[in-house]
Amino acid sequence: MPGRRRWALWVLLVALLAGLLSTLVWLAGRYESSQVQSRLEQDAVQTAADIRAALTRNIQRFQVLPAHSASPDAWRLSVSELLREHREIMRLEWRDAALGTVASADTPYRTSVFARLGRKNAQADVSLACAAARRFSGPAYSTSFFLPQSDGLGLEMLDMCLPVPAAGRPAGYLVVTYSLQDILSELVGKQMGRGRSLAFTEVDGTRLAMYGNPAHGSRAYVVQQLLDLPGNTLVLRLESRRGTPALFPNLLTALVTAMSMALVAVLALLGRDMRRRLKVEHDLADALAFRKAMEDSLVTGMRARDLQGRVTYVNPAFCQMVGFEAKELLHHGMPPPYWPPEQVEEYGQRQANRLAVGATLPREGFESVFMRRDGSRFPVLIIDAPLINALGKQTGWMSAILDVSEQRRIEELSRASQDRLQATARLATVGEMASLLSHELNQPLAAISSYATGALNLLQSAAADAQQPDNSEDMQRAMRRIAEQAERAGKVIKSVHDFVRRRDQVREPIAPRRLLDAVMPLVSLQARKLAVRVLIQVDASCGPVLCDRTMVEQVLLNLARNGMQAMQGPDKSRRAEKVLTLRVRPAASNAHSRWVEFAVIDQGEGISEQVAQQLFMPFFTTKAEGMGLGLSLCRTVIEQHGGLLGFEAVLPHGTIFTFTLPVAATAAEPE
C-alpha cells in the first residue's frame, strides 16, 4: 500500500536525520573536548618541565654554597638567604661522609617541620637517597614521606641528597628537604590559571600534595604527567575545570546544533507541505472520480475536439449513441466515422466555418445527422462551446450531443394526432351544423315548393280555361322565385361543402375581409336562428395576412359561434337586440404594424374566473351538447401561425376574444 510505504519512508528519513544530527553534535562536542584535553596535556608537560628546571636551578645554587671548609656558623649564615628566597625548601642539612649532621638550617617561614616527629624517622630515606647520589655522583631524590605537623595537619616531604666533593671524593652531603606542597605553589603555582588544580599523586591516585581548588564532578579534565627525578618518579596531576563540556562547549557545536535545528525545521516544513500536497492530491482525485462518474452516468453525449477537428475525448454515452468504441473514435483523423459519407463535404465546410467564427457560437445549438456503426442515420442536436485551458487559451471545442430521434418521432406522432383532432372537430362542427342546415334549407325548399304549386295551379287554370288572359308573366315570376330559392339553398350547401372540404395546408396571403366573407354564410345561418345581429368592422388600412385560410376560418367560426351561444342566457329579455361584432384592425396603434388583430365581441354573460382557468383545456365545456375542443384548437392554430389568442371582459357585459395574424410581407393578394 503506497500510503503505508510513504509513512515508513518518512519515519526512516526522520530517524536517519535525527541520528545524523546527534552524531554530529556529539562529534563536535568530542572534538571540542579533545582540543581542551590536548591543551591540558601540553600544559602538564610544560609544568613538569618547569618544575624540573626549577629544581635543577636550585641544585646550581646549592653547588655554589661555601664548601665544607667553612665553619658551620658561616654555612648557616650563607644558607639563610637561600632559605628566605626559596620558600619550597623546608630545611638544609650539611652532613658528613657518614651522614652525620654537621649543621642544619630551617626555613624561616615555619616552625621546624621535624619539630614534632624528629629527624630520625626519615633517616632511612636520606641514606637511600645519598647512596643513590653517591652512585650517580650527582643529586638524588628520596621517596616522599608524610610529616604530621603540630597544627594537626601534615606535609608531604621530599629529600634531595647532593654529594659535596672535596679533592675529588665525596667529603659530605647537602640534604635538602622540600615540601611538595610548596614546590607546587612556589615553582609553578604562580603561572597557573584559575579553575585548575595541580597535585602530586601516588601511582594509585592518592593525592600527596595539591595546589589550587580541586575540581569536582565528572566533567573535569584530568591529565597525569610523570615527573622523572633522579632516584624518584613523581606523578603530576593537572585538573581543569575550565572548558568543562557544557551543552554547547564552543561555537562549532553551537553552529552545528543551530544548523541541525534549522534542518529539522525545514524537514518539518517540508513534511507539512507534503501533507498539504497529499490532501490536495486526494481532493483532486476525488474531484476527478466525481467528474468521471458524472460523465459516465450522463445520457448526453460529450465530445471534445482539437482545433483541427480531431476527436480527443468522448464519453460512454456518445460511444453508445454512435456504436463505435472510444479508441476507434479517438485520433481517427478526418472525417470521423460517424459522419454519413454523403454529408462529409457539407460537414467539413460547416466545421471550417465554425473554426473561423471563433468563440462566438450560438448557445442553442444546431441540428445535424450522424451515422451509427450499422450505417443507420439519426438526428442529433449539437451544442458546441469553446474549450479553454487554464491559461485562457482555446485548445479546441467541447460539444454536448443529444440524440433527438425519439423526440422527432413523438413530434411526428403529435402532429398526426393534432391533424386528426382538427378533422374530428371540424366534423363535429358540421354535425352541429346539420340541424341548422335542415332548418335553413327548409325555408327555400318550402318557398320553392309553394312557388312550384302556384305555378302548377297557374298552368292547370290556363289549360282549363283557354280564354283566360295571358298569365305567362306570373309564371315567369314564380319560376324566377323558384330559381332564386334553389340558388339560395345551393349557396347554403356550398358554404358547408367549402368548409368541410379539407384542402392542403398552405399559407397564403389573404385579405381579412375575404376570411370574414367566407365564414359569413355559416355565421349568419346561426345568427338568424339565435336572433343575433352580426356587425362587421374592417379597418381599411389592414393589408393581407399570411395564413392557412381553412384553419383561420374555423377559428373565426368557432369564436363567433361561442359568442352567439353566450348571448342565449336566461336574461335575454333584458336586451332588445343582441349584437355580435367581428372587428379587424392593425394590432398596434400605428398603421404599419406587422400584425393584424381579429376580435369577436359578444354581449353575453361573460366568463367567470373558474371557467377562465380551464378555458383552453381540451374537452372543457359548460354546454350540454359541447365538445370542448373549440378554444383549445383555436389557440393551437393561432400559435402555429406565430400569433396570440386571448380574451378580456367587456363592460358592462360580454367578452372580447382577440387573435393576431402576421401581415403578408409585400406579396399582393391573388384575386
Q: For residues 90 and 65, is the Cβ–Cβ distance under 8 A?
A: no
- Pick from 308, 394, 457, 622 the residue near ligand ADP by CB under 6 A: 622
Please tell me the total number of residues recorded for the chain in this structure.
671
- Which listed range, 195-203, 253-261, 568-576, 615-623, lies at the site for ligand ADP (CB under 6 A)? 615-623
Report the residue closest to ligand ADP, judged by CB: 630
Q: For the CB of residue 606, give the shortest distance to ligand ADP in the complex, in Å.
A: 6
Between residues 23 and 613, which has the closer beta carbon with respect to ligand ADP? 613
Q: Is 638 in the site for ligand ADP (CB under 6 A)?
A: no
* 627 binds ligand ADP per the rule CB under 6 A: yes
631 sits near ligand ADP (criterion: CB under 6 A) = yes
Residues 556-575 that bind ligand ADP (CB under 6 A): 558, 562-563, 566
Which segment (138-146, 237-245, 370-378, 624-632) binds ligand ADP by CB under 6 A? 624-632
Could you write out the DSSP letters of every residue in 357-417? HTT---TT-EEEEEE-TTS-EEEEEEEEEEEE-TTS-EEEEEEEEEE-HHHHHHHHHHHHH
3-state secondary structure (DSSP) of residue 161? strand
Question: What is d(CA 565, CA 432) in angstroms, rounded to the nearest whole number?
Answer: 13
Q: Does 626 contact ligand ADP by CB under 6 A?
A: yes
Assess 655 for contact with ligand ADP (CB under 6 A).
yes
Hey, is 234 helix, strand or coil?
strand
Q: How far is CA 660 from CA 422, 426, 505, 545, 634, in A?
A: 20, 22, 19, 10, 12
Contact call for residue 436 and ligand ADP (CB under 6 A): no
- Beta carbon of residue 293, minimum distance to ligand ADP (angstroms, whole number): 50
What values do phi and psi take at 183, rounded to 5? Answer: -55, -45
CB of 651 to ligand ADP, least distance (A): 14
Is 630 a binder of ligand ADP (CB under 6 A)? yes
Q: Where are the beta strands (DSSP E) in 169-220?
A: 169-179, 196-201, 207-211
Nearer to ligand ADP, 65 or 428 (CB): 428
Q: How far is the CB of 482 from ligand ADP (least distance, A)?
A: 38
Maximum pairwise Cα distance, the chain: 234
Which span (2-10, 62-70, 263-271, 619-627) binds ligand ADP, by CB under 6 A?
A: 619-627
CA–CA separation, 622 and 612 (whole Å): 12
Long-range CB pairs of 104-108, under 8 A, 24+ apart, other chains included: 105/75, 105/76, 105/79, 105/80, 107/83, 108/80, 108/83, 108/84
Q: Are 661 and 516 in contact (CB under 8 A)?
A: no
Given 67, 611, 665, 667, the residue binding ligand ADP (CB under 6 A): 611
Please, what is the Cα angle at 139 between 135 and 141, to 5 degrees?
95
Select the span of 8-16, 166-174, 438-446, 607-615 touching ligand ADP (CB under 6 A).
607-615
| Helix/strand/coil for 565 | helix
Single out the residue of 121, 245, 253, 232 nearest to residue 180, CA to CA: 232
Using the rule CB under 6 A, give the single segment among 171-179, 272-280, 287-295, 600-608 that binds ligand ADP.
Answer: 600-608
Distance of closest approach, residue 650 Cβ to ligand ADP, in angstroms = 10
Output 191 or 613, the one with its CB closest to ligand ADP.
613
Under the criterion CB under 6 A, does residue 621 sit at the interface with ligand ADP?
A: yes
Nearest approach, Cβ of 604 to ligand ADP (angstroms)? 5
SS3 556: helix
Tell whether residue 586 is a contact of ligand ADP (CB under 6 A). Answer: no
Report in angstroms how near the CB of residue 616 gets to ligand ADP at its nearest.
8
How open is the CA angle 266-267-270, to the nearest 5 degrees?
Answer: 85
Cell numbers representing residue 571 in the block: 336574461
Chain contacts with ligand ADP (rule: CB under 6 A): 558, 562-563, 566, 602, 604, 607, 611, 615, 620-623, 626-628, 630-631, 655
